[in-house]
Structure 1
Amino acid sequence: MFISLIMSVLLVLAACSGEGGSSASEQSGENSPGKEKGTDKLTESGYPEELTYWVALNPNVSATLKNAGDIKAYQRLEDITGTKVNFQHPPAGSEQDSFNIMVSSGDLPDVIEHNWAAVAGGPDKLIGDGSIIRLNELIEEHAPHLKKVLDENPEYKKMITSDDGNIYVFPFLRGDEYLLTYNGLIIRQDWLDKLGLDMPETIDEWHAVLTAFKNGDPNGNGQADEIPLRLDPGQISMNKAFIGAWGITDSFYQVDGKVKYGPIQPEFKEFLQTMSSWYAEGLIDPDYLSGDSNLWDAKITNHTLGAFTGYTGSGIGRYMQLMEDEGGDFNLAGAPNVSLNKGEIPPLGQMDSPFTGYGAAITSKNANPEAAVRWLDYKYGEEGHILFNFGIEGESYTLEDGYPTYTDKVLKNESLPIAQALAQYAMAGYSGPFVQDKRYMEQYSSLPQQTEAIEVWMKASNDRLMPLISPNEEEAARYASIMNDVKTYYDEMLNKFIMGVEPVDQFDSFVETIKSMGIEEAIAIQQAALDRYNSR
């Protein structure tokens, strides 16, 4: 191993001096005209002495820390590699604008961690512009840990490869199917029990349960103050709540490789008719559009809201913890993804992709990309994997029969929620260039209600969900123009239909308006992108 390390260092030094023929850094444009030379000094272990690293600071980190360099995992990584990382954080709320300005100016750091799915024109455009570099050869030669992950999981490699065949990112990967589902319908199990109701599975059963919630006084206060359901339009896209029963989404989906747009399908009219009817019957909270989180907290903890959509952690876990000291029978459960017919597998639910676009790219301003690749690759090895998922042994976790078990500093912190306590040590609670470990979620969502919810929410076909695709540079501007208009109109009309401001029998006019905005061209662009993805 020591000999291999020395050879790697010698290869890097040869590449930096221009000896040894065509190197990976030459292929990636390191010696291209106009490149500003940064530090190319190496530590004794062959890592860069210093790196500049741009990344948005996750709210769970910024709640207690000012800089990603204060995270214990990064501090330990500096001890191991000798690399001093100077983190640059854009202002909260303006991350995308800051990214665009940075790229346009050409004043780039060595490494950028970002959601590359949000980049106009995609990563191929940034490689072509000389902002970030192609990593294929560099990973092959200098990143044995990530290479092993990709070789063992060809689908991961397909996901992080662009349409032009470029690997552009050290990715954040959810390393187990168990990690892909974390959001869905949540219902008051104690209300079901009190009223003698079974868990609803179909649209008709949901209508019966919500009606019983409204009329049956499940909170037992003798008042007709129960609100059966909060319908969250912002999460229809995520968890496909109710709309998925018809086998469609509120955006693009696929059927046997053919792209469709949900809101112009006949099934969408049926969805609107159902939601409009429920709203008229008082089954949907009239305040459902409010973004006031305190309002929703109050409705749940004051025992007036019967069902809503949410996460395992900030939904089920948080409210169970808030109500723990109150006593009583308060109990939440994850409800199954909804179908139209009893006994059928729900066609759609919430399931994320193992790779959603987040990760770290190396810029053209990096003076020694080979060394930066080795530094990033450390996180994909066994030691780095444990470090960035669990933090510091003896502080944030201990090994119990080989299982990295979070300590009370994380799971039972006296002053911080789990997500913020963990964020002081590791990054498993959000994202970064590493593979997320299933054992993180097993402990983060350790309540029986949470583990059962995940298992329930995972039960859906989901074969109509789209993979992570994006328009190419030629398509991007036109696609964005079409979808900005369509999305604005859709958001406005969706709520008008549900609230009865616009009768659902105007649906055909709604469809024609969306078509006049160019949705069929947008579908064609999505189809071309899906075809490119499938042919990778």
Structure 2
Amino acid sequence: MGTNNKKRPHHLKWAFSIMMAAILLLNLAGCSGSKNNEAKTDTEAAFNREGLPIVNEPITLDVLTVRWGNMGDTFLQNQWLKDLEKETNVKINWQIMSSNDWGEQKSIMLASGTLPDIIFGDIVFSDSDIVNNLSYFRPLDDYIDQYMPNLKAALEETPEMKKMSTFPDGKIYSLPARLPSRPKASIQPIINQTWLDKLGLDVPDNTDELYEVFKAFKDKDPNGNGKADEIPVSGSGNISMDLLNPFGITDINANSMMVIDNEPVYYPVTENYKEAIKWAHKLYSEGLIDQEIFTQDSTMSTAKHQNPDAALIGFSNQWVPDAVFGKWKDQYIAIPSIAGPDGKRYQGGEPQGMSLRRNEFLITTSNKHPEVSARWADQFYTNEASIQNFWGAIGTVIQKNDDGTFTLMNPPEGTSADAWYWEQSVRDFGPKYVSPSFEKNIILDETTGDGLKLVIDKLGSDYVTTPFPNVMYSAEEFQELPTLTTDIDGFVGTTRAKWISEGNIDAEWDAYVKKLNDMGLERLIEIRKEAYQRYISVK
């Protein structure tokens, strides 16, 4: 037939081509118009664009996730995950790695280019890992549009998720998450209430009152052991930037950037920062800040916070009051954000809630079932799925009530709530979305864990500043950034320690700013601003 075809007149060949094209189009139309809207995957298992199961015949996907330390695979007993496999016909071959040795394994995997079908959880690959290896990952915009109605609705309700997930080329390669019942405020001031009571002092409201409380803590033996061993403020390596919050300095991403009047600002060269350091020097020079704060490591600092004989530390900035104080934890309370010299309060955090994550789910280019993978991931983006993948399954960890509310059960005896949640779920990792309007249906124990943090949050949530967002950098920017930040951050940190311990900031300020500019500060700020502009321009 091929030989005869060559001898056909041109107009007959043209007619034959049109006829074959028409037959092909009719076949395609017939497939897409079938009742159950099926298409064939590479395994010839029928794929359903809507409804469950996702595929009519079971298929297996390889999914890599990383867990903290020795957490292991207990989360696989989560009943929701078990039910998902039955309902979707998508069987998961979980490849579970420990964070302890993932760094080396990751380098080998990226160098070889041999990746599993799906990457699950933002601990697996960082922004730079993904940006520098984009050829390994599928752009997901079309999959979201065609196969992920739950995620699509979430992105419309919370546009910030789309902004933070859009890469410099304008595409989405990794999927975001919104965790449930997260606070707006990050680290809150924590003070020793027992010491305040013993000395007849009120909770300090502003920096002047805090200074007077610190002096009383140091001089008046509030722990009652007859020794002058009280330390109002301690820490390790450098001063906590949260101590400088009252001066308008907040930095939840530890990149020395803030957004002030809708403009990115590098705060270590601002007047606010200078005044904050002067105040910290005053505290240090009077022995109100641990004199070993710049030389001791975290082990030494922890030993002081948990000293077995008597409480030694008066004040700290922590997530919750019982975070670091060991047997003395019940002496401490969270207090409202401290007012600064301008009378205002500034609190580090996220006005929309500290709940948004990216890089929680990636589909690799070696994955032969991207549509199936996208639909599988979309099952995680409902309210009920998300709370079960953050705390644990309904019936195991969560009680579903007749009135539409959900109550977290108490953990087994001898287990903390947080440890139980990690055991029973993927917890912080993986795709999930809880709508802000749904959170009123979640009933948490206000005396511990996540529920306690939401109670504490009321002390600072009204004062949360707008943080410099979690922007995305290009491969070229990632090449420049490490050199710039290593030199600049190092110099800023050592200079901060020197000024707090020795003073003299006014005399040395101009030379400090000049040296930062010589190190490339202007270029660093330019990179940050360009990334910020890309971020806010995403629609």
TM-score by length of structure 2 reads 0.79
**Separation in structure 1 between the aligned mates of residue 220 and residue 349 of structure 2, nearest angstrom:** 31
For residue 291 of structure 1, report the CA deviation from its aligned partner.
0.7
Q: Quick one: structure 1 residues 8 and 102, their matched pair in 2 at CA, closer, same or farther if it must change by over 3 Å? A: farther
Residue identity in the other structure for 2:171 = N
Q: Identify the range of structure 1 (111-120 vs 351-360) with the bigger mean alpha-carbon deviation.
A: 111-120
Alignment partner of 1:435 out of 433, 436, 453: 433
Structure 1 contact 67–87 (Cα < 8 Å) conserved: no
Q: Quick one: structure 1 residues 233 and 404, their matched pair in 2 at CA, closer, same or farther if it must change by over 3 Å? A: farther
For residue 377 of structure 1, report the CA deviation from its aligned partner.
1.0
For residue 337 of structure 1, report the CA deviation from its aligned partner.
2.5
Q: Does 1:161 align with 2:166?
A: yes
**Separation in structure 2 between the aligned mates of residue 340 and residue 244 of structure 1, nearest angstrom:** 4
Equivalent residue of 2:356, what SS? coil
Q: Quick one: structure 1 residues 301 and 343, their matched pair in 2 at CA, closer, same or farther if it must change by over 3 Å? A: farther
Alignment partner of 2:462 out of 431, 444, 459: 459
Q: Does 1:419 align with 2:426?
A: no
Corresponding residue number in structure 2 for 1:208: 212
Q: Identify the range of structure 1 (247-256 vs 48-57) with the bigger mean alpha-carbon deviation.
A: 247-256
Residue identity in the other structure for 2:389 = F
Structure 2 contact 214–232 (Cα < 8 Å) conserved: yes
Residue identity in the other structure for 1:337 = S
Corresponding residue number in structure 2 for 1:268: 273
Residue identity in the other structure for 2:205 = E
For residue 261 of structure 1, report the CA deviation from its aligned partner.
1.3
Residues 70-122 of structure 1, C-alpha deviations (whole Å, 9 max, x = no match): 55553443344343322334442454554344223211111113438974657
Alignment partner of 2:319 out of 277, 291, 311: 311
**Separation in structure 2 between the aligned mates of residue 117 and residue 166 of structure 1, nearest angstrom:** 20
**Separation in structure 1 between the aligned mates of residue 445 and residue 307 of structure 2, nearest angstrom:** 25
**Separation in structure 2 between the aligned mates of residue 172 and residue 44 of structure 1, nearest angstrom:** 22
Corresponding residue number in structure 1 for 2:489: 487
Q: Does 1:398 align with 2:402?
A: no
**Separation in structure 1 between the aligned mates of residue 521 and residue 289 of structure 2, nearest angstrom:** 30
Alignment partner of 2:64 out of 44, 54, 63: 54
Corresponding residue number in structure 2 for 1:282: 287
Residue identity in the other structure for 1:226 = E
Q: Does 1:366 align with 2:367?
A: yes
Structure 1 contact 225–304 (Cα < 8 Å) conserved: yes
Residues 130-160 of structure 1, C-alpha deviations (whole Å, 9 max, x = no match): 2111111111111121112122223322232
Residues 55-84 of structure 1, C-alpha deviations (whole Å, 9 max, x = no match): 22134xx34x34653555534433443433
Corresponding residue number in structure 1 for 2:177: 172
Structure 2 contact 246–340 (Cα < 8 Å) conserved: no
Q: Quick one: structure 1 residues 193 and 347, their matched pair in 2 at CA, closer, same or farther if it must change by over 3 Å? A: same
Residue identity in the other structure for 1:219 = N
Residue identity in the other structure for 1:108 = L
**Separation in structure 2 between the aligned mates of residue 91 and residue 257 of structure 1, nearest angstrom:** 40
Structure 1 contact 231–309 (Cα < 8 Å) conserved: no
Q: Does 1:131 align with 2:136?
A: yes
Corresponding residue number in structure 2 for 1:36: none
Corresponding residue number in structure 2 for 1:341: 341
For residue 323 of structure 1, report the CA deviation from its aligned partner.
5.0
Alignment partner of 1:108 out of 111, 115, 121: 115
Residue identity in the other structure for 1:361 = L
Residues 25-81 of structure 1, C-alpha deviations (whole Å, 9 max, x = no match): xxxxxxxxxxxxxxxxx977559621212222134xx34x34653555534433443
For residue 204 of structure 1, report the CA deviation from its aligned partner.
1.6
For residue 501 of structure 1, report the CA deviation from its aligned partner.
8.6
Residue identity in the other structure for 2:185 = T
Equivalent residue of 1:77, what SS? helix
Corresponding residue number in structure 2 for 1:378: 379
**Separation in structure 2 between the aligned mates of residue 338 and residue 507 of structure 1, nearest angstrom:** 27
Residues 486-511 of structure 1, C-alpha deviations (whole Å, 9 max, x = no match): 12223333323323398774343333
**Separation in structure 1 between the aligned mates of residue 319 and residue 452 of structure 2, nearest angstrom:** 12
Mind listing any 5+ residue stretches in structure 1 that lack a counterpart? 25-41, 325-329
Structure 1 contact 51–111 (Cα < 8 Å) conserved: yes
Q: Quick one: structure 1 residues 116 and 12, their matched pair in 2 at CA, closer, same or farther if it must change by over 3 Å? A: farther
TM-score by length of structure 1 reads 0.80
Residues 348-382 of structure 1, C-alpha deviations (whole Å, 9 max, x = no match): 42336542434111111111000011111111124
**Separation in structure 1 between the aligned mates of residue 250 and residue 187 of structure 2, nearest angstrom:** 18
Q: Quick one: structure 1 residues 68 and 175, their matched pair in 2 at CA, closer, same or farther if it must change by over 3 Å? A: closer
> Which of structures 1 and 2 has the bigger CA Rg?
2
For residue 192 of structure 1, report the CA deviation from its aligned partner.
2.1
Q: Quick one: structure 1 residues 74 and 318, their matched pair in 2 at CA, closer, same or farther if it must change by over 3 Å? A: farther
Residue identity in the other structure for 1:316 = D
Structure 2 contact 122–429 (Cα < 8 Å) conserved: no
Mind listing any 5+ residue stretches in structure 2 that lack a counterpart? 1-31
Equivalent residue of 1:379, what SS? coil
Percent identical across equivalent pairs?
24
Q: Quick one: structure 1 residues 267 and 309, their matched pair in 2 at CA, closer, same or farther if it must change by over 3 Å? A: same
Alignment partner of 1:407 out of 389, 406, 409: 409
Where do residues 144-155 of structure 1 align in structure 2 (5 Å cutoff)?
144-155=149-160
Alignment partner of 1:181 out of 163, 176, 185: 185
Q: Does 1:331 align with 2:336?
A: no
Structure 1 contact 191–213 (Cα < 8 Å) conserved: yes
Residues 432-459 of structure 1, C-alpha deviations (whole Å, 9 max, x = no match): 2112584799636535974442111213
Q: Identify the range of structure 1 (78-87 vs 479-488) with the bigger mean alpha-carbon deviation.
A: 78-87
**Separation in structure 2 between the aligned mates of residue 12 and residue 236 of structure 1, nearest angstrom:** 57
**Separation in structure 1 between the aligned mates of residue 176 and residue 308 of structure 2, nearest angstrom:** 37
Residue identity in the other structure for 2:341 = N
Corresponding residue number in structure 2 for 1:33: none
Corresponding residue number in structure 1 for 2:306: 298
Structure 2 contact 266–525 (Cα < 8 Å) conserved: yes
Residue identity in the other structure for 2:398 = Y
Q: Quick one: structure 1 residues 140 and 374, their matched pair in 2 at CA, closer, same or farther if it must change by over 3 Å? A: same
Corresponding residue number in structure 1 for 2:14: none
**Separation in structure 2 between the aligned mates of residue 318 and residue 248 of structure 1, nearest angstrom:** 22
Corresponding residue number in structure 1 for 2:233: 229
Q: Identify the range of structure 1 (484-493 vs 139-148) with the bigger mean alpha-carbon deviation.
A: 484-493
Corresponding residue number in structure 2 for 1:87: 94
Residue identity in the other structure for 2:215 = T
Q: Quick one: structure 1 residues 204 and 528, their matched pair in 2 at CA, closer, same or farther if it must change by over 3 Å? A: same
Corresponding residue number in structure 1 for 2:11: none
